Structure 1
Amino acid sequence: MTNAKSYVNIDPCTTILLADPHKKGENDVDQQKITILYCRLSNEDALDGESNSIANQRSILTKYAAERGFTNIRVLVDDGYTGTNFNRPGVQEGLSLVEQGLVGTWIVKDMSRFGRDYLQVGRYTEIVFPSYDVRFIAVNDGVDSERGDNDFTPFRNLFNDFYAKDTSKKVRSVMKARGTSGKHMGKPPYGYRSDPQDKDHWILDEEAAPVVKRIFDLTIAGIGPCRIARILEADQVPTVKALYAMRKGKPAPERPCHWHEQSVVGILERMEYTGCVCNFKTYSKSYKLKKRIPNAKEDMFILPGTQEAIVPQEQWDRVQELRKNKRRVTKGERQGLFSGLLFCADCGSKLNFATCKRFEGRQDRYVCAKYRSGRGTCSGHIIREEVLRDVVLERIRAVTEMIRSDVEGFQEDWLHCRREEQEKSIREDKRRLAQAKKRLADIDVLMTRIYEDMVLGNLSQERYQKMAEGYEAEQANLNNEIIGLEDWVGIREEMDNSFDQFAALVEKYVDIPELTPTIVNEFIKKIIVYAPEKQGTKRIQKVRIIFNFLDELDTPEIGEPVITETTYGRGKTA
């Protein structure tokens, strides 16, 4: 019989030398599991100096792990990432290892390096890590989950969250000041480049600017973003990405001229092409939420005339109006000349273009969207395109001839229609401007008083500092408001240039032999179609044409509806 030896009750004979005088076994870890040394540095933390640098964190954590016998080390780094959320590659890699049960210890320099969202930090340190038997250590804060709960840790996490919130406020304040100073907050879009003499100033990109202008011109001609992309690709125009890659000497994309519809849409929506600064186009609801939300136009900061325009303001505005009314090529492979411009006089719905391959051109027509072959909620507001083309061409010729014959008299009538509303708006803005200037002067007096109170000992230095910061912030906001109001009042007092724009359009088209999509979109804002009436063998129908820039005028040539007559399938204007 063989005598078997039992080692069950034999005490370990190998001693572990520790750098600190703790009991043996206190720092024993499962050396088969990973020890994560996690380092994080945000752009704001980098301003604090070397103490928070990645190199300093790595040095502290490596030394700590070596002195306490931690092995199977893996260093994870998130450089340039905020601690207000956990969408960081390094921390996500570590948490993935934790979920796989591969991590034994997670060590950070302090709690703020792990995160500044106290709710998420508490969830991981108090729920997730204990569930996977992960030991969490924050070296400088004296936190070690193996030694039991640290009652001060939740408060420390809350203070870290407050720090992030305060930093966010300061960053927003700095960005607000820069954004309202008249400087661009982003890089130049396609069509512009930075001025070598002044990086904050944009100048035209000689190669890209004509492409941008062409895209806007094609849109005015009634062509949609998808077809524009195909045209640019057919003409072998390099895409934005391809152009920048070639300039930097990098490999071009596999299809360097393959334009996407969304690229065209992005260009059409950039207000900066009119020569302005447009800041604060998006915002976030909280410093913890990174989702950007489109801002209302009144909440943006827009300053015109900061760089050379690629497209005129009136053309950009017209493009935005046209894009609200999308036009599609029909199954008959034809597109209505007036698609998106016709509206029902009764229900306000659009009139859809109706055609098919077997139709001749003179059979194409527009029908109220709510008519639905007599089964809808509106009556038959139907008009043939051939009739409408004649009506619109005749009215455009009449209006342009009238303006050329007496430009000054026409301008006087137009000014008279706009003057009352314009003057009321200017008076209101002047009142707000006077209030802002008065408050600015009052703040100067208040600043002097609180300084005297502080010097005389009637006001603590801390209280003075807080009040001074509040007044200075209000001063900055008032200065920005005053600058904006003065510019806006000045522009309108100089005169709204809508008439000048229309007069230039009249001079551009001295003779109009026939209508084109470009002419229609430049002259016409919308057309209102009334229900037809029967008078014996005649079909009488009124059409009201509203011109761009001149919709306020109610002269017979512009404001009154046109009456069309149709007899035995033939149309004419009365």
Structure 2
Amino acid sequence: MEVEIIKANPVIPGDACVDRSSRKRVAAYCRVSTDDEDQIKSYNSMVRYYTDLIKSNKEWDMAGVYADKAITGTKVDKRENFQRLIDDCLDGKIDMVIAKSIPRFARNTLDTLKYVRMLKERNIDVYFEVEKIHSLKDGEFLLTILSSVAQQEVENTSAYVRKGLKMKMERGEMVGFQGCLGYDYDPVTKTLSINEEGAEDVKYIFDRYIAGAGGCMIARELNEMGKRTIKGNKWTVSSVMGIVKNEKYKGDLLMGKTYTVDAISKRRLQNMGQEDKYYIKNHHPAIVSEDIFDKAQEIRNKRNGNRCKPSVESGSRIKYSRQYAFSSLIECGYCGKIVSRRSWHSNTNHTKTIWQCSNSTKNGKQNCPESKGVPEEVLEKAFLESYRMLCDNNNDVIDEFIKRVDKALSEDSVESKLVKAKNTDTNLRSKRSILLEKYLDGSVAQDIYETKDLELVRKLAANDAAIESLKNSVNIEKVHRIRLKEFRKVLEENRYLEKFDRSVFESLIEKVILGGYDEDGNSDPYKVTFIYRTGYKDDLYGCKTRYSNTSTNKKCSNSSDEVKAVCSNCSDDTCGDGCSFVPTKG
């Protein structure tokens, strides 16, 4: 038997190599990771070296030198020239790439293999000078081992750096300072000194915040005065609150607020206890006194009291819970925005709680000029009158409410939701255990395992927070259910409420509209419209005048005739206008 050997032809029809000249188009890639003087010299030397190397070879054509300066090798998406090199390779402009070593090409094993394989599929060779590896000729095993060593070197270096930073923080040295309004930083002595111009803005923010102004209002005022943040940007709520929360302004220093998850992704998260923190009192001159700073924190915590604690994984709030009876239920009758709760004269003995259109308070009066701040007691007394009239004139509505109460008492309680949340916790932990087993037996790749495991950890953290919230709500629900039963009894006996009851209000009211127009088209910022859960609507006009004095209770007696005398628009027709109940859709 005679066997004829057909010699291999490196140029295959249809391959990317078709119509290429005999001379290889060669490009070089070089990178330095810092911008200090020695590294820049090395960078310039490498560019000259590869330019001369390629031009001196008669079999090569110069395809360019692609160089990234002061860029880390762990994240290729941050290296613009590296990405440009890959794009040119995929466009058929390059036959071979030269890199000094594997760590200069990429310090992430997955990235190294990904791009080498990508180029290899197009018959493009990558040559690593130090290791003397040609990707087209040499096996992938050695490349994998050496790239893993490069990645381990990065992780070791990162660990050494973190340890060194911790030692500095333990000694009280300031690390990671990124600039701070009101302070100048001396890089030689590593000390902070007060910048008077910026300090005035800081004092203004604290003074206004303690006086009762919110972050939106303060930001608007600063922007109107032409003030800018330390980065030259316009002020926002977050930038204002960043000043209010910063302990540096009382002369203290907290280090370790964030931490790096891993050396490869360089992802940083808020430190919720995963790493040590370092707090130094009286570290530098204070701009505001400790009393002022503590007062600001007290106000901030009080305002944030209606929100759950941040998630450990994301640092974001998980759930919003209504703190006040009218929270999220009042809508502006002029612009349709949410009406929010505010305090007037919060620093005096004449504190007054009012509800006002958030569009007006946050974005400026010009955005909703007809809205006014309505005292909370006016809204409560308006509801009491509306409720009394309901009991007087609408027995069919009362029957419907009683049915709703019975339904509410028979529906799933918080306890059942707590059981479901605990079952979810068990399922998530089981999924995480199964995922780990699959990773250990090799059926799931490391990158897929890390992504899915992180997702499960986040879900567990959110579910744990929900469980804690539900536990706190169990006792509240028990009290609420008792009050609902009492409310049912009140409705059946057709008695009047002597004072505002949140449980009764929330069980009856779907929405409240504050402000609007009367029958003649005149604006009435103190008009209050209650939309009941049954679909009935009750309009009350001029509520501030009627309910902001002690004589209101006398006017709103149990007699329906007396109610009519007070409410000039009131009608016996339950489908009429004024204070009557008008059915609405939904």
TM-score (norm 2): 0.49
**CA 358–64 in structure 1, closer or farther in 2 if over 3 Å, else same:** closer
Determine which of 199, 205, 208 is the counterpart of 1:215. 205
Give me the whole-angstrom Cα distance separating, in 2, the residues matched to 1:188 and 1:224. 24
Give me the whole-angstrom Cα distance separating, in 1, the residues matched to 2:374 and 2:44. 77
**CA 207–36 in structure 1, closer or farther in 2 if over 3 Å, else same:** same
Q: Deviations over 1:356-403 (max 9, x none)?
A: 959964753469xxxxx9879999xxxxxxxxxxxxxxxxxxxxxxxx
The equivalent of 1:101 in structure 2 is 92
1:301 matched to 2:260? The reply is no
The offset of 1:71, in angstroms, is: 1.4
Give me the whole-angstrom Cα distance separating, in 2, the residues matched to 1:161 and 1:188. 32
- Percent identity, please: 22
The equivalent of 1:241 in structure 2 is 231
Tell me if the contact between 1:274 and 1:316 (Cα under 8 Å) persists in the aligned partners: no
Give me the whole-angstrom Cα distance separating, in 2, the residues matched to 1:193 and 1:220. 26
Tell me if the contact between 2:184 and 2:194 (Cα under 8 Å) persists in the aligned partners: yes
Q: Which amino acid aligns with 1:95?
A: I
In structure 1, runs of 5+ residues without a counterpart are 1-27, 243-255, 342-350, 368-372, 380-530, 544-564
Determine which of 253, 256, 277 is the counterpart of 2:253. 277
The equivalent of 1:143 in structure 2 is 133
SS in 1 for 2:190: strand
Give me the whole-angstrom Cα distance separating, in 1, the residues matched to 2:172 and 2:333. 50
Q: Which amino acid aligns with 2:553?
A: G
The offset of 1:178, in angstroms, is: 1.9
Tell me if the contact between 1:354 and 1:366 (Cα under 8 Å) persists in the aligned partners: no
1:91 matched to 2:82? The reply is yes
Q: Which amino acid aligns with 1:324?
A: N
Give me the whole-angstrom Cα distance separating, in 2, the residues matched to 1:330 and 1:182. 52
1:321 matched to 2:335? The reply is no
Give me the whole-angstrom Cα distance separating, in 1, the residues matched to 2:301 and 2:109. 47
The offset of 1:85, in angstroms, is: 2.1
**CA 337–35 in structure 1, closer or farther in 2 if over 3 Å, else same:** same
How many positions carry a matched residue from both structures?
340
Tell me if the contact between 2:354 and 2:373 (Cα under 8 Å) persists in the aligned partners: no
1:466-505 equivalence runs, <5 A? none
SS in 2 for 1:76: strand
**4+ residue runs over 4 A deviation:** 28-34, 49-52, 325-330, 332-335, 351-363, 373-379, 531-534, 540-543, 565-568
Determine which of 102, 111, 120 is the counterpart of 1:111. 102
The offset of 1:569, in angstroms, is: 2.2
Q: Which amino acid aligns with 1:97?
A: D
The equivalent of 1:191 in structure 2 is 182
The equivalent of 1:158 in structure 2 is 148
1:66 matched to 2:42? The reply is no
Give me the whole-angstrom Cα distance separating, in 2, the residues matched to 1:40 and 1:309. 44
Please provide the CA RMSD for this pair. Answer: 4.5
Give me the whole-angstrom Cα distance separating, in 2, the residues matched to 1:32 and 1:143. 21
Q: Deviations over 1:85-107 (max 9, x none)?
A: 21312211212222323222111
Tell me if the contact between 1:65 and 1:71 (Cα under 8 Å) persists in the aligned partners: yes
1:226 matched to 2:216? The reply is yes
Tell me if the contact between 1:537 and 1:567 (Cα under 8 Å) persists in the aligned partners: no
Give me the whole-angstrom Cα distance separating, in 2, the residues matched to 1:211 and 1:570. 51
The equivalent of 1:201 in structure 2 is 191
**CA 541–279 in structure 1, closer or farther in 2 if over 3 Å, else same:** same
1:79 matched to 2:69? The reply is yes
Tell me if the contact between 1:32 and 1:72 (Cα under 8 Å) persists in the aligned partners: no
**CA 31–290 in structure 1, closer or farther in 2 if over 3 Å, else same:** farther
**CA 32–65 in structure 1, closer or farther in 2 if over 3 Å, else same:** closer
In structure 2, runs of 5+ residues without a counterpart are 1-18, 307-326, 347-352, 358-369, 382-386, 388-400, 410-482, 503-548, 556-586
SS in 2 for 1:71: strand
1:539 matched to 2:516? The reply is no
Q: Deviations over 1:17-56 (max 9, x none)?
A: xxxxxxxxxxx97479853211111239x79x77992133
The equivalent of 1:464 in structure 2 is none
The equivalent of 1:481 in structure 2 is none
Q: Which amino acid aligns with 1:101?
A: G
**CA 123–73 in structure 1, closer or farther in 2 if over 3 Å, else same:** same
Determine which of 4, 8, 29 is the counterpart of 1:38. 29
Q: Which amino acid aligns with 1:145?
A: S
SS in 1 for 2:31: strand
1:168 matched to 2:158? The reply is yes
**CA 192–34 in structure 1, closer or farther in 2 if over 3 Å, else same:** farther
The equivalent of 2:262 in structure 1 is 286
The offset of 1:109, in angstroms, is: 0.9
Give me the whole-angstrom Cα distance separating, in 2, the residues matched to 1:338 and 1:107. 68
Q: Which amino acid aligns with 1:103?
A: I
Tell me if the contact between 2:98 and 2:128 (Cα under 8 Å) persists in the aligned partners: yes
Tell me if the contact between 1:538 and 1:567 (Cα under 8 Å) persists in the aligned partners: no
**CA 153–568 in structure 1, closer or farther in 2 if over 3 Å, else same:** closer
Give me the whole-angstrom Cα distance separating, in 1, the residues matched to 2:373 and 2:221. 27
